[in-house]
Structure 1
């Protein structure tokens, strides 16, 4: 038996590759296995190679596996593109329809199964993916009835006949492959899982659920990969709590609509990717100047311009901190797991209202669209903090006819009282130009300095729980691994391998990018002989931010990848061995 399996299905985009992986993983998730799935797809609606690689384990996994046990191929391109990942005991299970050919330089075993032919005999070639799942079950020695509940859930609305046909497709795939395997049935049988119920979800769903739990009632957005699932999730859910999603004409409108909604006292946000964030920059500046809470989710992808819209990258970091013209207070967060994405989204709305400034929640394509096993969420941790928002007009002092409410009052902590528009005694000006305490435009040099200083005092002490995730095993480390967003899983695995080689490794995952948690990071850097900063960009943006805020540049090395693919554990391991 094995405690871990790596399985990949591939073919042409639009022929059911995603649903094949979805059905396979849903069933194994319900058996209690931990899973991690990453989908490679083209930036087109139909056509082009796509694959879904799913890792199944009896323990938590958060990274794409180095190698591959089983490759399910619906075309020759899938074999040609992916066979190099197979280890020597790996299997290729290919559809007989395309006369599959095994490359000469692989020791993996090829099994040819008539997926399409069996499916056609059952009524439609669309069920070939179910035949492939059945063939996989024979290799793993998994009973076909494990898939009954999943098939009922997915196809039940189409009628009992459709459900039974799909189950029959799985059974026939199982029977055919069992005969081909002979005494190798169950050759990759997994150790039994614990059977516990856990969720299996992408980061975007966790962000959307976090927004919902955090009290959001309006989302204004324009669809873009890889952020669109946040919008799609909330289109279904927000109306159930009296909220709404508005698809705007562009990202400029989305950001300004979110600003207006927040000004009106309603928690609202928007979500996009790099190109959309570029369009939002002027609006982000407006939120900073007017001190209006604003949460924006940036799901990073390959750039610049349209770049690699369906591929992994982490190159928006500097833009999210410094992209706006002029200077405004801003908070930039970066969750590293699906669970953190849920909780950090809630906290983003709290921080936006508490500090009355833009908060950018950074994700990346791997975190946003990669699917992870998630332990049950603890809703008792959900707390709503609205800062200095005055909701009872009786708390406002009386104004005479000539005076205005001091919406931008200069305070010791830099945070001014805030009111909902229309409240008695709360009248004030709101403008994007520099203003005095009541919001009236002012070009006075002394007022300008007072207001700028006031705004930046907000960032002197941002309260954020665990700004750096730490896995610190040594008082003095040979190597400190540092990353952000989705690299956490691959760094954890690389650290474990390096430890087995006798190398003392600590690991830090930065969750609060700006203002940078210098006091938290400095001791970790000082106690390490070398620091390897791992990130998906060409210029070492996180490493540069660490150098700016912590120093010790001579210790820091960049481990960079920007070809659109996620890091694999062996890549980090090998590069770190070269550093030591």
Structure 2
């Protein structure tokens, strides 16, 4: 059964589709930026293939005048198609009476009745202007007329975007925009989908991807070295930090591979510099030995894993949540680590700051598991709360304490610590320690193999979780809904928006929504929600039900858990979740 998903009247959705290399992203970015400047809340979603040219790609925008948008929506009001394949791939999303604007270079066909189809010579107009790629601005003009957006909003964007390249280019883009606007006005004047009126904010809004939010959060929270190897969908973190970190005295190191990148980040942290590495699933796999090194040497380390479809090269440009088991249990031996799953694009900013503070305070690896849905897509929102930035540099021994010790007496891995955290020195501090073995060691850092000390050091390292457990329930999950619901919907990370919207369609069903933000240490307080619910659905963007498996391991309730799985490279839709719950 296909459930009707209704949206508020203060919203609209738009999409442009075509072949890779046709300027699809540029077309979407133009409208996304204009709408943000006009005061709309938007979520912009990119669907693309791992190709330079060819294949199908599209860019979808969902806009609202009232509330922040965290998901691009199931349905579609208007489609701009640069080729027939874009119609075939996307017409099922169109609402009844939905609008298609297509390039007149092909004869458009649809399998659905009731759609309004407008043929516009996008390519021919661009050729007349001497620039084939400028058809994206022609398409923007046509869209502006249908959406009833004043052209002055686009002129402002064109001047800002192209002003530095000269007046001639600015005028060319304005002309292209006007051609598209006037053509559809003259030939299809009654085809309209007026956008609800937005109120322009007094100050500018932010239009940001999860990767950009992580980059910004890292810089503002004191990260001064990023070591990374380019990999989709995490490369944008590398690019953003490269463009901005040097302004604050930081360095970006492009390593020869992910192994080297991780070790560079460990070395920089060992030297006392807040450092991180960013990657995706294949790179995280390569970092596993280094992750163990950070664990046994008790060196802070922040790894950002922007998950994509696996295994192996898998689906480089599609989303998934299938690295969770690797993040939790990967590496040989047993290494304590914190695993954080940010829920929204703004949350990416807040959680990367938390990651740096936790990594230093507890001297262990912190893995931040984002995914492509968050990482490479954008949303517009009013602001970030910069008062949350708190660079808490903890866990260091000071020089005065070291001066009071005899030479060689400093116990870098002291067992005499209830929290499991021993103060660390920075290389160069007199009476400190300059060697951190990857072998098991005794309290001063010398290599050992005796049974009692090995046992004591392992217990010390994992004792950090006892301390962390006292606080993780404060921030490691969110819960909304009734106390004893008929249905409990559980998710992790980026599925939060679709689950929240799906619950609006649970007519007559009492519900609760539990969203995990931290999986290690596991926030055990959530047990009460599983106990009270009659039935539990676990939303897992992977094949094996990894979140359901973690819940079963940590707190049980196996018989109540109903995994809802998706592993085709696409994010969950609202309809997916409603269908799973209502049957």
Q: Any residues of structure 2 matched to 1:87-486 within 5 Å, and which?
A: 87-97=95-105, 99-184=106-191, 187-196=192-201, 197-390=204-397, 392-401=398-407, 403-410=408-415, 411-427=417-433, 429-462=435-468, 463-464=471-472, 466-486=474-494
Query: Counterparts of 2:388 and 2:108 in 1: how far apart (Å)?
Result: 54
Query: Counterparts of 2:474 and 2:504 in 1: how far apart (Å)?
Result: 22
Query: Counterparts of 1:307 and 1:245 in 2: how far apart (Å)?
Result: 28
- 1:60 matched to 2:68: yes
Query: Counterparts of 1:575 and 1:170 in 2: how far apart (Å)?
Result: 44
Deviation at 1:408, TM superposition (A): 0.4
Match of 1:72 among 70, 73, 80: 80
Deviation at 1:535, TM superposition (A): 1.5
Residue aligning to 2:523 = 517
Contact residue 410 and residue 433 of structure 2 kept, 8 A: yes
Query: Counterparts of 1:102 and 1:110 in 2: how far apart (Å)?
Result: 9
Contact residue 11 and residue 62 of structure 2 kept, 8 A: yes
- 1:28 matched to 2:35: yes
Residue aligning to 2:574 = 569
Query: Counterparts of 1:443 and 1:95 in 2: how far apart (Å)?
Result: 72
CA RMSD of aligned residues (A): 1.4
The superposition leaves residues 44-96 of structure 1 with CA deviations (integer Å, 9 ceiling, x where unpaired) of 22222111111111222212311111110111111111112112211110011
Deviation at 1:247, TM superposition (A): 0.4
Moved more, 469-478 or 243-252: 469-478
Contact residue 77 and residue 95 of structure 2 kept, 8 A: yes
Query: Counterparts of 2:479 and 2:186 in 1: how far apart (Å)?
Result: 48
Query: Counterparts of 1:467 and 1:70 in 2: how far apart (Å)?
Result: 39
* Unaligned ranges ≥5, structure 2: 1-7
The superposition leaves residues 15-46 of structure 1 with CA deviations (integer Å, 9 ceiling, x where unpaired) of 11001000001000111111111111111222
Q: How many residues align?
A: 570
Contact residue 274 and residue 316 of structure 1 kept, 8 A: yes
TM-score by length of 1: 0.96
Query: Counterparts of 2:270 and 2:528 in 1: how far apart (Å)?
Result: 40
Query: Counterparts of 2:120 and 2:51 in 1: how far apart (Å)?
Result: 29
Contact residue 151 and residue 166 of structure 1 kept, 8 A: yes
| Runs of 4+ deviating beyond 3 Å | 397-401, 463-469
Deviation at 1:364, TM superposition (A): 0.7
Change (3 A) 1:569 1:78: same
Query: Counterparts of 1:544 and 1:54 in 2: how far apart (Å)?
Result: 34
Query: Counterparts of 2:272 and 2:547 in 1: how far apart (Å)?
Result: 35
Moved more, 110-119 or 423-432: 423-432
Q: Secondary structure at the match of 2:447?
A: coil
Q: Secondary structure at the match of 2:272?
A: coil
* Unaligned ranges ≥5, structure 1: none
The superposition leaves residues 289-318 of structure 1 with CA deviations (integer Å, 9 ceiling, x where unpaired) of 000000000011000000011011110011
Query: Counterparts of 1:546 and 1:561 in 2: how far apart (Å)?
Result: 18
Query: Counterparts of 1:439 and 1:106 in 2: how far apart (Å)?
Result: 74
Query: Counterparts of 2:432 and 2:492 in 1: how far apart (Å)?
Result: 42
Query: Counterparts of 2:293 and 2:107 in 1: how far apart (Å)?
Result: 58
Q: Secondary structure at the match of 1:418?
A: coil
Deviation at 1:464, TM superposition (A): 4.0
